[in-house]
Structure formats: C-alpha cells, structure tokens
A and B are shown apart, each in its own frame.
Chain A
Amino acid sequence: MTILRKIDVADMEDIAIGGAVLGTGGGGDPYVGKLMAQQAIRQYGPVNLMDVSELDDDALVVPVCMMGAPTVMTEKLPQGDELMNAFRALEKVMGRKIDAVLCGEAGGVNSTTPFVVAAASGLPLIDGDGMGRAFPELQMVTFTLSGVSATPMVLCDDKGNSLVLDTVSNAWTERLARAATIEMGGSALLAFYPMSGKVAKEAVVRGTLSLCAKVGETLRSARAAHADPVAALAELLGAQILFHGRIMDIERRTEGGFARGKATVSGVEEYRDQTLRLDFQNEFLIAERDGTVLATTPDLISLVEADSGDPVTTDSLKYGQRLITLAWPCNPLWRTPEGIKLVGPRYFKYDRDYVPLAGSA
C-alpha cells in the first residue's frame, strides 16, 4: 500500500478551509469536525491518505458522515463516541472487518469527520468522496449512480441510541434516516454505503480530500504573498467570478431539518446597480442575476469573503458582508441524466432546468 500523504494536526487546518469552499455554503462549518479530528490525531497519530486505486477489489470500504442541520451542529456538538460506535456496529452487521475509511461528502463538516474514524481505527482514508462538494440528502452521492445501496447503515446519536436500517432504496434511506435524525435532536452520525474496493474505484469522486488541502494551502500562500486570494482560488478550482456585492437580506426557515432560504446581494464596483439572488437549502443551489440564471446545482456555487477569500456558509451569512460569488463545474458523473435527476434544480423544487456552466470539469 502506497501512502499518498500523512495528514497531521496542522494539515487539518487547510483541509477544513478547503472543505468549507467545497461545501458551497452548506455541509456545516468544518470547525467542529476539525477540532474532533485534531483531537483524534493527537491521541492516535496521523492519518494515512490513500489513492482509491490502491484498494484490493474485495476490500470492504465504508464512508462515515454527520447528518443534520448545520446550525444544530455548531450548537449541539457530538457526545464523542457516535462515529466509532456506528463504524464498529456496521462491522458487526457485515460480519467482517472494514479495510478502509471513505469520505461521504468532501464539503463542509464531513470533509473532516472521516479523519476521526481513520485516526481512531488506524485504517487508511481514501482520497476522494461521494459528491466532490456538499449536498443536503443522503442519497445524493455518486455511489447511488453506481448502484451501491446505502444500507445496511448504522445511525448513532448523542444519547447512545443506535439504529440499523435496511431499506428498499437510497431515497427511502434518506427519508427514514432524516426522520430519525430529527427525533435524535437534529444531528446524528452514521456509517453507510458499505462497498467493495472494486465498486469504490468506479464510484468515488477522486482526489477531493487532497484538493481540500490544496485550497487551504492556496489561500494561505496567496495571503502571505499579498496576492489576490480570490483570484488564486478561482484559478485552482477553474471557477468563474459571478458577482461581487454586499448582503442586503437573508430569509431563512428551518423545514424538515433543512435550513432553507434566499439571500439578496447588492452589487458593488463593476456590479453596481445589479442584484444577485441566491437560493439555498443548506447549500447554494441557484444564482440568478437580475432575472438571468447564472449557475445551478449540481455545478458548485461558493461565496467567499471578497478580500480574504475565506469561505462563507449559508448559516453564517450576515447583513452587510461583502462577498464574491464563485461557480465552477461539477464532476462529470453528475452531468448525466441520472445525475441531474438526483441533484438537479428540479429535484429541489425549482422550476428550471440545469444549465451547465461553461468550462471543463
């Protein structure tokens, strides 16, 4: 087994920044997950990051995730043992040892949670994930497109409850797990989508955890060189700058465990007298400037602080912030008819079609 790189306590700072950028406003602030990962790395040692191609075809790979509303996660932190409880319980259900840990979602807090399990278990962590970004629902992973079942799955809460699910489809898993998560207090930790090394090689969006680290490194070095961090970030990601403006209004509501809402941004400089409207459901999903749709899910829409390039989450949006809106193309796996059906604008109940952003993915 070749180790791509060892991830230590300091690397987690970069990964958390990258996770927030790939989180496209959602997936929760990685801060809490970063602290948990750093605590685990201090206790158990660095995490070995491994390319998916290194896996044996018959290896057992399992992703882990935190599920719930982002606001809940920053306020009600985990009890601490939930992730390992879910991981070990799934081993029991599967009747065999797990060989590697996988990241379900490289955007937001879940860019960091797999490091907790990889450190504590001593298992390698695959450099990749099931989204290449963040999405709000559990079935919205490339694993689903490859026909992987989300179950058997184990869901654990802070009270010590655990729930094993066996469902007929990944959409049903989402529905049942969501209901359980809300009952569990709005956040839960899970181990799911057990898959073979062979399937993982086809289903995983590759290289996304090292991309997270690169995003953090890029922002850090641009600032140190007094270069424009937003320009450096856009170049790394192959992103377009859609807008530059100040937040004028944010409308939020929590529905069924999701933070839904709209943000209105009033343009500055070359965007003066223009207005950008953003729709979000945890993540930014649609960007519309003066009535023209500029970008839609599953392409990535991320807002960063205009001067520093620091990513901003939908739940930390504040009146008056000056932000730049970036957008870049999603992984090609998402641009298939099945992909668009699973995560396109119509799935989120917006009455518009997916318009692919220009540029190569």
Chain B
Amino acid sequence: MIRIGIDVGGTNTDAVVMDGNTVIAGVKAATSKDVMTGVVNALRKVLDAAGMEASAVDVVMIGTTHFTNAVVQRRDLAPTAAVRLCLPATASLPPMVDWPEDLRDVIGNHWFLAHGGNEFDGRVISPIDEAELVHIADQIRERGVNSVAVTAVFSPVSTDFERQAGEILAKALPDAHITLSSDIGRIGLLERENAAIMNACLRDLSRDVVAAFRGALADVGFTGRFYLTQNDGTLMDAEFAERFPVLTFASGPTNSMRGAAFLSGVQDAIVVDIGGTTSDVGSLQKGFPRQATVAVEVGGVRTNFRMPDVFSIGLGGGSLVVDGPDALTVGPQSVGYRIVTEALIFGGETLTTSDIIVADGAADLGDKSKVAGLSPDLIRKARDRIAFMLEDSVERARISADPLPVIVVGGGSILVEGPIAGLELIMPNHFAVANAVGAAIAQVSGEVDRVYSLAEIGRDEALNDAKARATEAAVAAGARRDTIEIVDVEDVPLAYLPGNATRVRVKAVGELHVG
C-alpha cells in the first residue's frame, strides 16, 4: 500500500510517500496563507521525488496544527454563542468562566443560560422553553453570531435536550453551525462545554481548510480516501473532521512523536520537535507519547480530552532574534511561513534564528553573504540563548533522572548545536519530516458506545462483548487484527433506567492494514 502523510504546520507543509514501512521520499514546502497552495506544492514535490503518479497512491493522511494554532494565536475564530441548558442550576459559574480574557473577547463572550437539562437520575431539571430559545436565537442573530455551542447538564447520559434545543436553534438560525457537547465530550460540564465552544468557533475555518485539502488533492489528481489525524493518533475521515475540528487538537505533537519513534527505532526518549515558530517537547514511552492524566489546557482553556503531555516553547527556525539593551531575546515572535522572504538569508530585513545558524557556518541555507556582517559576539550570544532554551525545556520534560536519549526532529533541527542537557542526541533519517511520517503511520480506531442491561448479562460479559465489537469496528475501518489493542474502557451507570443499565464505551486501535 502506498501512503502519503502530510503535516501542515504554521511554517512548513511536509509530505512523505511511504511504501509499507519504508519512507520513499520526504519533502518540505512552505505553508501558504491559503493552505491549499502549500499542500499542492508539497504533494507535487513529494510525488516527483518518489517518481510516482498520484494514481498510484492508495490513501492520504493529513495532520494539521491549523486548528490548535488558530486557538493559541486567537485568529480566524468565529464569534460564537454558548447556550447552556441548565436553569436554575449551574448559574454560579457561567460558560467560559475560566478562559483567558483575550480568547473570550475574540469570540465575543456571548453566553446564554436557558431552561433544560437533566438531573443525574434522568429527571428533568426544568422543561425546555421553546420561546426562551427562540428569543436567544434572536439575540444571537442580532449580534451577527453564526456559530453556536449547545451544552445541557448531564447530556452524556441523555442527549434529548441538546438535540431538541439544537433543532429549535437550527430552525431559527438556518445558516448557523451548531455543535452539541454530547457529540464531543464526557461528564464534566465546564470541560465538555469548553470543547464544544472551541469546536463551534472553529467551524468556519474547518469548512475552508477541509475544502482546501480536498481541492489540493484533486488538483494533483488524487481521488482516493483521505483522512485527518486526531489527538489520540488515530484517523477520522474528512467529512467527520469538518464537523469536529476540535478533535485535531494536539494531533501535531502526537504525529511527530510517533514519527520520531518510528524513524529512530527508539521507544523511550524525550522528543524535541523544532518547527518554524515553536518547539514541542514531550516524552515517549514504549513508542507512544506519554498521556497527560490531568485536565489538559489548550490555549489556556481546560478540556478533558486524552492528550499527549507535551508543552511548547517559542523557539523555532523563524524565531526573531532581538539584541535588546538589557538582554538578547529569542522568540516567541516568529516570521513563520514568511521566513522565505523576511529572513536576512532570503533577502529580508528580519534577524531570525536561522540567520544566526547560517552565519555561524552550521547550516547551508539561503544566501550566506547576507549575514556575513553579523558580529561573532552576537552570534555567540544568540547560540547560547538558544542552547539554554533547549536545555531548559528538555529538563522540564524529564520526569526522572534516567539518562534517556533526546530525539530531535522537525525542520528547525539545525538550531541544535550538540547534546542537550548532556544526554545522547539522536537525529534520525528524515528527521525534518517526522510529523508527516507520524501522520502516514497513524492508526485506525473502532469505537462502541452501547447501553447494556447488567441485570441480563454480567458486567464482565458486557465488557467483553463491547471489546469484541470495538475490535470488529476497528477491523472494518481498516485495522490489522493482530495489531489491535483496547486503549480505552469506560462504563457509566445510568441509574435512572431499570435493570442496572450501564453505558459502556470501548475504543480499540490498530495499524492500518497494509496491502
């Protein structure tokens, strides 16, 4: 099976062609403002390098940090209304209560509390008030808001209120994108509501981005299946991704860490992925990113997704170097994808980390003569600062005194001068495109979400049945049976239903079947 993996970062769009488990070709192209041009360029380049036609490719997997970056940088976010069905309960803490103020401001801090929602035992807190929701819809329209997130108390147990309110709002606001929290999250009102609001504010962007991907693939003549990677390193099809962009959060770090493990053959390490704007640092355990077990914040917002425990620092190949009166600083500002015009070595006027590395003779990039005038003192100071930032982040990611190796991947890897924090340094082949490799090897999952009556069959039998069904779903989605693992098991008792009813969710993942 021939797979193409693509990783769209803020600065570079990387692509690899893989034949089974072999990387045939890997390339980098600049990310374009319209996304599509960059993807088309990367696809053309990689097919060229592999000497292949698009028709020979079976499947394309795309990882994108586009949606995470949009939230982190507070850009391209649609004004969004949060509607919570809850009254009179929950009024103590309104939607977005714990959000950073700037993000709340960007999407308008539009929230409405309405009647509805369930008690824990399925009783109704208060019935839905259609007139109230229609009035809320009027206000949403008047404010020019077109994205709505609907969250009802205890919707993971009973989705009726959200569906009903969603229909009423859709009727009143026919063009609006409506996200229901029960489609995304679990028990935990604020975290699930946060995820739903972030999803809603990304819906305009996701429509454009998924259309751009589809257009780019059509442009190079690819007509097969295409997937996006989600936060747990598994795949979702394009239509699903367009409706649930929030599920791509943290897929970038997951892909680069999985790619780093694959390329280096090392299973336990610290991974530093240096991009154009940021470096992501995390630790790899048995080939998988270490999962954060506490609530993970995205752009300062608390969520309850299962996500890799990765943090970012503002250091990349395009980071600005400023020799200020007090001290020399590196980042967090970056020229990003504009590096190809704005960095000194490319004829621009902005001093970036890449200029420093080229001036120091450590990389051959752009026009070396443009940085010949930089003082050796400045170069040394900047390199020391970069080394300090890398060392500090690796130390932070270290959770034990064990001398784990450091795997450095990503296009900005030229910033690394030598061993970081005294640890063994690994730069695998194709290190610059590790995240595209990670996307290409992303796994397939199968999920079941069923209600069992434990009065009829025992809990063990119910769980085994759910695991078997999840395994079959993963196989049906294209997973290789012998690689399937059960990664998530959750059972939530539905106390209000007779017969000790329990909602069971099981997720199975496996490698994509390679023909």
- CB of B153 closer than 8 Å to a CB of A: yes
Identify which of A77, A160, A305 contacts B93 (C-beta below 8 A). Answer: A77
A80/B91 in contact, CB under 8 A: yes
- CB of A5 closer than 8 Å to a CB of B: no
A36/B92 in contact, CB under 8 A: yes
Bound: A308/B119 CA distance, A:
34
A76/B91 in contact, CB under 8 A: no
Query: Which B residues are closer than 8 A to A by beta carbons?
Result: 86, 88-93, 97-98, 117, 119-121, 123, 125, 153-154, 187-190, 290-291, 293-295, 306, 395-396, 398-400, 459, 487-493, 495, 500
Expressed in whole angstroms, the minimum distance between the Cβ of B234 and any Cβ of chain A is 15
Interface size class of A (residues with CB under 8 A): 35 or more
Q: Which residues of B contact A160 (CB under 8 A)?
A: 88
Whether A79 touches B90, Cβ cut-off 8 Å, given contacts A74-B189, A251-B459, is yes
Whether A159 touches B88, Cβ cut-off 8 Å, given contacts A75-B153, A76-B189, is yes
A-B contact pairs, 7 of them (CB 8 A): A39-B93, A75-B188, A76-B154, A251-B459, A253-B500, A310-B294, A320-B488
Bound: A268/B487 CA distance, A:
18
Q: Which residues of B contact A186 (CB under 8 A)?
A: 119-121
Whether A312 touches B88, Cβ cut-off 8 Å, given contacts A35-B97, A75-B189, A76-B153, is no
B293/A310 in contact, CB under 8 A: yes
With both beta carbons as reference points, the residue of chain B lying nearest to A259 in the complex is identified as B493
Identify which of B123, B291, B400, B490 contacts A185 (C-beta below 8 A). Answer: B123
Bound: A159/B153 CA distance, A:
15
The interface residues of chain B, by DSSP majority, are classed as loop
With both beta carbons as reference points, the residue of chain A lying nearest to B486 in the complex is identified as A319
- CB of A254 closer than 8 Å to a CB of B: yes
Identify which of A158, A253, A308 contacts B89 (C-beta below 8 A). Answer: A158
Bound: A75/B157 CA distance, A:
11
- CB of A78 closer than 8 Å to a CB of B: yes
Q: A36-B93, A226-B396 are in contact. List 11 more A-B contacts (CB 8 A).
A: A74-B188, A76-B154, A77-B89, A77-B90, A79-B92, A80-B91, A160-B88, A226-B395, A307-B400, A308-B294, A318-B306
Identify which of A39, A74, A79 contacts B187 (C-beta below 8 A). Answer: A74
B294/A75 in contact, CB under 8 A: no
- CB of A252 closer than 8 Å to a CB of B: yes
Expressed in whole angstroms, the minimum distance between the Cβ of B121 and any Cβ of chain A is 7
Bound: A69/B188 CA distance, A:
13
A185/B293 in contact, CB under 8 A: no
- CB of A321 closer than 8 Å to a CB of B: yes
With both beta carbons as reference points, the residue of chain B lying nearest to A255 in the complex is identified as B495
Among B120, B291, B306, the most chain A Cβ lie within 10 Å of the Cβ of: B120
B90/A78 in contact, CB under 8 A: yes
A305/B119 in contact, CB under 8 A: no
Q: Which residues of B contact A36 (CB under 8 A)?
A: 92-93
- CB of A355 closer than 8 Å to a CB of B: no
10 smallest CB-CB distances across A and B, nearest first, come from A80-B92, A77-B90, A158-B89, A307-B399, A186-B120, A185-B119, A78-B92, A319-B489, A72-B120, A310-B294
Expressed in whole angstroms, the minimum distance between the Cβ of A145 and any Cβ of chain B is 32
A76/B89 in contact, CB under 8 A: yes
Q: Which residues of B contact A149 (CB under 8 A)?
A: none
- CB of A241 closer than 8 Å to a CB of B: no
Q: Which residues of A contact B119 (CB under 8 A)?
A: 76, 185-186
Q: Which of A157-216 contact B (CB under 8 A)?
A: 158-160, 182, 185-186
Q: Which residues of A contact B493 (CB under 8 A)?
A: 252-254
Among A76, A78, A254, A319, the most chain B Cβ lie within 10 Å of the Cβ of: A76
Whether A305 touches B91, Cβ cut-off 8 Å, given contacts A76-B120, A252-B493, A320-B487, is no
Identify which of A182, A226, A321 contacts B293 (C-beta below 8 A). Answer: A321
Whether A75 touches B187, Cβ cut-off 8 Å, given contacts A305-B293, A310-B293, is yes
